[in-house]
Amino acid sequence: MSSSSASTIQSVLVENRVFAPSAEAQQGARVSGMAAYQALCDEAAADFDGFWARQARAHLNWSKPFSRTLDESNAPFYKWFDDGELNASANCLDRHIGTPVENKTAIVFEADDGTVTQVTYKDLLSRVSRFANALKAQGIGKGDRVIVYMPMGVEGIVAMQACARIGATHSVVFGGFSAKALNERIIDAGAVAVITANYQLRGGKELPLKAIVDDGIAMGGCTTLKTVLVYERTPSAWNRVEGRDKTFDEALQGQGDDCPPVAVDAEHPLFILYTSGSTGKPKGVQHATGGYLLWAKMTMEWTFDIRPEDVFWCTADIGWITGHTYVAYGPLAAGATQVVFEGIPTYPNAGRFWQMIEKHKVSIFYTAPTAIRSLIKAAESDEKVHPKNWDLSSLRILGSVGEPINPEAWMWYHRNIGHERCPIVDTFWQTETGGHVITPLPGATPLVPGSCTLPLPGIMAAIVDETGKDLPNGAGGMLVIKRPWPSMIRTIWNDPERFKKSYFPEEMGGTIYLAGDGAVRSEDRGYFRITGRIDDVLNVSGHRLGTMEIESALVSKTDLVAEAAVVGRPDDVTGEAVCAFVVLKRGRPTGEEAKQIANELRNWVAKEIGPIAKPKDIRFGDNLPKTRSGKIMRRLLRSIAKGEAITQDTSTLENPAILEQLAQTN
Ligand code: ATP
Ligand code: MG
């Protein structure tokens, strides 16, 4: 960031709406009321190591108790509970055996075509154990890396848990990624096996997985790879490579369903997950077993206030960190019943999510702003898929994750899904943080639309300038976390230097975690609001503008705009100029109409934020370039805005055709 933070524009988007938790939400909540929240924060501040040690003893089953809590001797390579031993799978499954949870439904699986199957905790333990035995029979063991390239479903979760059970480190690759992305990850991770399916079913279509694995391996360099295990999701034929490929049935043949969990050191790598790549070459984020699992369980309890009778549904795919922490690990560690969904939100129509909430009596629903925005667009153009057609009264808590949620989308979610009754937890976190770090607590925090509110107890988040100096409320700056926390990234696989350089800048002393996001705290409550990636803060005539603010202003023109993304491009006069890419609710305009709407939007932004924020260029598209996780790829938009050819890695881009459309000027 180049300019001073003092000149941050005070946006008129300042949010005055506040929604205090209802008596109902506070009642019986684990953290009930702000005094309880504050007490936990105070405890962590007064006795940091003691706080975390007590949590780790209370929440996890240790096969060998730890005596050291935090080792900072080789910062920023922090270690937590490092002389303790445990097994993640045992903490998700075995721990419930002999308790009332053992016969409880762990997973309600709804397939793409609507077929529902249920799995109890006891069943899940036998399936995981049997699969773990099958992996061992392939010679896979502690320390090996295994790629999981699977559809959303029980088998994918079983594969991850089975790896954890034998101490193998999994690396899940999202089932929408290309052969090239897969090839790079197999090589970087040095994987010995790929667990995949012949096909996946999404939106009524059969899409190949195994064929992409074959292509990825054929690109060469996968010298460590020995085995490919194939789940036959559909009866369709697939190409078998003799000596390397085995079906699940063949691998499971003769395997018993008892497999003692392998105790590993708390710091043993549970998984590597490559980030989505919205800002550059994917990084293999490495997480440790003990600290990660601790936070997965604690945040289930704090952020979602999970209770025995809840039906939890996180819509994220296991290919993302959200699907790791809040599908594959957290809900199981918490002994919850969860819904797992194979399909997409718009099939057979855009009412699918609402219908499933009704059908499964979901009480906690956790999804992404991109999904919410697209379902708003659908509901507003077609009454039949409006959520009002379904009974959503089972809902108790709503969650949002992945991007800042625009206040307008927040309000729609609050009214139309939460019926002004359910707290919305806007959870800020990252692949690197392992679990939520800044989020409201449903029974405590007064909510402000578009704000992720306050850090969780023990998370020492702050906003600082380039030198690491604290900034006052109201001043925009860089989001940092000043002390380590148990579920933090341990390193970038194979690249400890990049780890230090990316997250622990020397100018700040080399030990403070830099999130890479810009943020500002509100003057009144000190609430955090994420203003966009640091790279996405624009400097227009010396004024610092968060891209997120301009995007929110555009999207708040609700009669016209469905989605918007804003980037900067160099400008001779103003330093940087604002460039907006806009998707309209009515479809893509051209010619005179495009010019006219662009002008209308410019004036709107001028009125909402100030003339300085007026987009110089506005371009219309049928969609925006997104990663497969639904995030806008602003680095590509930056190139388009500058008129450059795209030479960057687009292997994680979902809809490449859109780039050409957006390259056209009006
Ligand atoms: P890459 O690091 O490869 O560019 P990514 O950052 O998109 O990919 P994730 O780790 O999945 O990959 O996403 C974390 C980022 O998502 C955060 O840094 C932040 O920019 C954004 N984010 C997540 N949750 C929220 C939230 N509740 N509010 C605002 N931003 C959020
Ligand atoms: Mg990131």
Q: What is the DSSP string of 48-86?
A: HHHHHHHHHHHH---SB--S--EE-TTTTS-EESTT-EE
What distance lies between CA 68 and its chain's CA centroid?
30
Q: What does DSSP assign to residue 456?
A: P
What is the percentage of the chain residues whose pLDDT exceeds 90? 80
Q: Is 117 within 8 Å of 153 (Cβ atoms)?
A: no
Q: What is the ipTM of this complex?
A: 0.99
Q: Which ligand is nearest to the CA of 427?
A: 1
In tens, the pLDDT along 608-622 reads 887 888 999 999 999
| pLDDT score for 278 | 58
Instruction: Find the DSSP H helices in 82-120.
Output: 88-92
Nearest by Cα to 344 from 110, 585, 105: 110
> 565 by DSSP, 3-state: which?
strand
CA dist list (Å): 588 to 7, 259, 591, 619: 36, 57, 10, 10
The letter for the amino acid at 83 is D
Whole-number average pLDDT of the chain: 93
| pLDDT score for 572 | 81
For residues 486 and 81, what is the distance between their CA atoms, to the nearest angstrom?
A: 9
Nearest by Cα to 124 from 144, 142, 101, 141: 101
Whether residue 275 has its Cβ less than 6 Å from ligand 1: yes
Ligand 1 site-directed mutation target among 188, 271, 276, 629, most atoms within 8 Å of CB: 276
Q: What residues does each domain of the chain span?
A: 23-343+428-516, 537-663
> 112 by DSSP, 3-state: which?
coil
Q: What does DSSP assign to residue 239?
A: -
- The reply, when asked if residue 608 is annotated as ligand binding, is no
For residue 269, the cross-strand partners are 288
Q: Is the pLDDT of residue 3 over 80?
A: no
CATH superfamily of domain region 23-343+428-516: ANL, N-terminal domain (3.40.50.12780)
In tens, the pLDDT along 57-103 reads 999 999 999 999 999 999 999 999 999 999 999 999 999 999 999 99
- The reply, when asked if residue 429 is annotated as ligand binding, is yes
Classify domain 537-663 at the CATH class level.
Answer: alpha beta
φ, ψ (nearest 5 deg) of residue 392: -105, 20
- The reply, when asked if residue 402 is annotated as ligand binding, is yes
Residue 9 pLDDT grade (very low, low, confident, very high; cuts 50, 70, 90): very low
Cα 277 to middle of ligand 1, angstroms: 10
Q: Is the pLDDT of residue 7 over 60?
A: no
Q: Is the pLDDT of residue 659 over 90?
A: no
The two tokens of residue 3 are 């300019």
What distance lies between CA 29 and its chain's CA centroid?
25
> 229 by DSSP, 3-state: which?
strand
Q: Is the pLDDT of residue 456 over 50?
A: yes
Determine the average pLDDT of the residues in 531-544: 78
Bigger pLDDT: 547 or 13?
Answer: 547
For residues 614 and 599, what is the distance between their CA atoms, to the nearest angstrom?
A: 10
DSSP string, 575-638: EEEEEEEEEETT----HHHHHHHHHHHHHHHHHHT-GGG--SEEEE-SS--BBTTS-B-HHHHH
| pLDDT score for 660 | 84
Q: Is the pLDDT of residue 527 over 70?
A: yes
The letter for the amino acid at 503 is Y
CA dist list (Å): 314 to 66, 300, 408: 32, 11, 22
CB atoms within 10 A of CB 50: 12
Which H or E run includes 496? helix 496-503
Number of alpha helices (DSSP H) and beta strands (DSSP E) in the chain = 20, 30
With 0-12 / 13-18 / 19 or more C-beta atoms within 10 angstroms meaning exposed / middle / buried, residue 649 is middle
Q: Which atom of ligand 1 is nearest to the CA of 322?
A: 11
CA dist list (Å): 137 to 166, 252, 256, 490: 11, 9, 11, 30
- The reply, when asked if residue 544 is annotated as ligand binding, is yes
Cα 503 to middle of ligand 1, angstroms: 14
Please tell me the pTM assigned to this model.
0.88
Whether residue 277 has its Cβ less than 6 Å from ligand 1: yes
Ligand 1 site-directed mutation target among 428, 447, 451, most atoms within 8 Å of CB: 428
| pLDDT score for 552 | 86
Q: What does DSSP assign to residue 16?
A: -
In tens, the pLDDT along 346-372 reads 999 999 999 999 999 999 999 999 899
- The reply, when asked if residue 428 is annotated as ligand binding, is yes
Residue 502 pLDDT grade (very low, low, confident, very high; cuts 50, 70, 90): very high
φ, ψ (nearest 5 deg) of residue 575: 85, -65
Q: Is the pLDDT of residue 13 over 60?
A: no
Determine the average pLDDT of the residues in 105-129: 98
Instruction: List the residue whose alpha carbon is closest to atom 19 of ligand 1.
Output: 403
Q: Is 169 within 8 Å of 146 (Cβ atoms)?
A: yes
Q: Which atom of ligand 1 is nearest to the CA of 439?
A: 27
> 145 by DSSP, 3-state: which?
strand
| pLDDT score for 11 | 42
Q: Is the pLDDT of residue 5 over 50?
A: no
Q: Which atom of ligand 1 is nearest to the CA of 320?
A: 11
Whether residue 442 has its Cβ less than 6 Å from ligand 1: no
Q: Is the pLDDT of residue 8 over 70?
A: no
In tens, the pLDDT along 235-275 reads 999 999 999 999 999 999 999 999 999 999 999 999 999 98
Q: Which atom of ligand 1 is nearest to the CA of 405?
A: 28
For residues 253 and 145, what is the distance between their CA atoms, to the nearest angstrom?
A: 23
Residue 1 pLDDT grade (very low, low, confident, very high; cuts 50, 70, 90): very low
Whether residue 175 has its Cβ less than 6 Å from ligand 1: no
- The reply, when asked if residue 558 is annotated as ligand binding, is no
The two tokens of residue 105 are 């439904």
Q: Is the pLDDT of residue 277 over 70?
A: no
| pLDDT score for 658 | 87
Q: Is 103 within 8 Å of 72 (Cβ atoms)?
A: no
DSSP string, 198-223: SEEEETTEEEESHHHHHHHHHTS--T
From 359-373, 509-523, 567-581, the region with the lowest mean pLDDT = 567-581
| pLDDT score for 496 | 96
The two tokens of residue 219 are 């690109």
CB atoms within 10 A of CB 659: 18
- The reply, when asked if residue 188 is annotated as ligand binding, is no
Cα 275 to middle of ligand 2, angstroms: 6
Task: Kindly provide the residue ranges of all beta strands, DSSP E only, lying in 156-203, ordered along the sequence.
Answer: 169-172, 193-197, 199-202
For residues 488 and 456, what is the distance between their CA atoms, to the nearest angstrom?
A: 14
What per-residue string of b and e applies to 488-514 under the rule 16 or more CB within 10 Å gives b?
bbbbbbeeeeebbebbbbeebeeebbb
Q: Is the pLDDT of residue 386 over 60?
A: yes
Which H or E run includes 103? none
Q: Which atom of ligand 1 is nearest to the CA of 515?
A: 18
Cα 204 to middle of ligand 2, angstroms: 32
> 389 by DSSP, 3-state: which?
helix
Determine the average pLDDT of the residues in 384-394: 98
Determine the average pLDDT of the residues in 119-148: 98
Q: Which atom of ligand 1 is nearest to the CA of 627?
A: 7
Ligand 1 site-directed mutation target among 273, 429, 445, most atoms within 8 Å of CB: 429
CB atoms within 10 A of CB 542: 12
Residue 12 pLDDT grade (very low, low, confident, very high; cuts 50, 70, 90): very low
Whether residue 276 has its Cβ less than 6 Å from ligand 1: yes
In tens, the pLDDT along 212-229 reads 999 999 999 999 999 999
Q: Which ligand is nearest to the CA of 428?
A: 1
Whether residue 321 has its Cβ less than 6 Å from ligand 1: yes
Whether residue 426 has its Cβ less than 6 Å from ligand 1: yes
- The reply, when asked if residue 233 is annotated as ligand binding, is no
